[in-house]
Structure formats: C-alpha cells, structure tokens
Amino acid sequence: MSSDEDFPDWFKKRRSPFRGWFFEDIDKMFHEMEKMMEEELKTFSSNVPKDYVRERKLPDGSTARELGPFVYGYSIKIGPDGKPEVREFGNVKPSRTGPQVKEEREPLVDIIETDGEIHIVVELPGVEKKDIKMHGTEETLNISVDTPQRKYFKEVTLPAKVKVKEAKTQYKNGVLEITLPKTKEEKKPKGEPINIE
C-alpha cells in the first residue's frame, strides 16, 4: 500500500478534481518526465564502454556526442515440451540498476537437438569467416569474433555431451552452422553392487 508521499505533486493534484488547473498539471507532468529521462540517460551513458562514445563535428563548428550502436532483441520459440523459450541477443542487457552495455554483442543462437546430434545456428552479420574463433568441450561451445568493426561472444551450454573432434561447420552469408554428434552414454547402474551373504 503506498502513501501520498510516494506520488509526484502533479499526480496527487490529478487525483483531486478540484485542485489546480489542468494545463498547469500537464506542463508539470512533462517537466518531471523530462527530468527523469535526463537522469536515466546520464546513468546509462556513464556505463557505456568508451568504444561506444564518439564525437562528431557539426556544420556550424560545434560538436555532437554520439552513443552506440546499441542492440537488444529477443526471439521466442516453442520448445519440445510445449513451453516458450525466450532467447536474448545484442550488447545491452537489462538489470536492476538499468541497462548494461557490453563491448561484445551476443549473437542470436538456435539449438536443435535430434537423437544423434546437436545442430547450432549462429547469426553473425558483417563477419568474415577468418575472424570467427570457436572452442568446444563435451558440454559447452564458445564462439567469438574480435575485430575493430565487430565484437561478438557467446558461450553455448549444450543440452547433451558431444564429440567435439567430429564437429562439422559451415559459414555462409553471416550464418554459422555447427553440427556436433552426441556421445553415446553407457548406461551404468548407479551405486555399488551388494552381495547377499
């Protein structure tokens, strides 16, 4: 339950129809919103990596500060269990203290699992094949790109153990495809056998 002190002045006045003038209240509301947005922008820009801040000369001789590029997106698909799976990508991550900007973008990754293999599709627009670095273990796959123009990083946790040495890859038009065969797990009984005396 909130008290009257929790609301801005313009909101308290709007709750009572007999106080203040309508246009004065709207004007105050816009001024308070502008202040809040300026504070959020200051907080956001103080957390931006230096590579995302540039200054540009304007025709009149003054300079303008530019921030970016900032990328945030998500993709939703229905998983095999019927539940939606939300996957985020980009270089902006929401947090309790406001959006956090990373130097590397997180690419959009899709994982398809079949009985015998795991197929991974990674979107890396604007990247040359020679700039992609991958490192895999039985359970994870790291994909990274580090060039002056593009920086990507994604650690993919695989849904099953795989044979990394037998990976097959293909890269075309900014789309990387990786196929990893699953390891065949031997079914061993859990625990230790107990002899009956």
User: What is the band of 170 on the pLDDT scale with cuts at 50, 70, 90?
Assistant: very high
pLDDT at 187: 62
Residue 102 lies in a domain: no
Domain CATH for 115 = 2.60.40.790
Residue 150 lies in a domain: yes
| Domain of 23, in residue numbers | 4-65
| Structural domains of the chain, count | 2
Query: Does pLDDT of 51 surpass 90?
Result: no
Q: Nearest CA to 138 among 72, 184, 85, 80? A: 184
User: E strand or H helix at 49, and its extent?
Assistant: none
As a whole number of angstroms, the distance between CA 108 and CA 53 comes to 24
Task: Report CA-CA distances (Å) from 156 to 18, 86, 113.
Answer: 59, 15, 13
Q: What is the pLDDT of residues 100-146, one digit of tens each?
A: 777 788 888 989 888 899 999 999 988 999 999 999 999 999 999 99
User: Are 47 and 116 in the same domain?
Assistant: no
User: Are 56 and 128 in the same domain?
Assistant: no
User: Are 128 and 182 in the same domain?
Assistant: yes
DSSP string, 159-188: SS-B-GGG-EEEEETTEEEEEEEBPPPP--
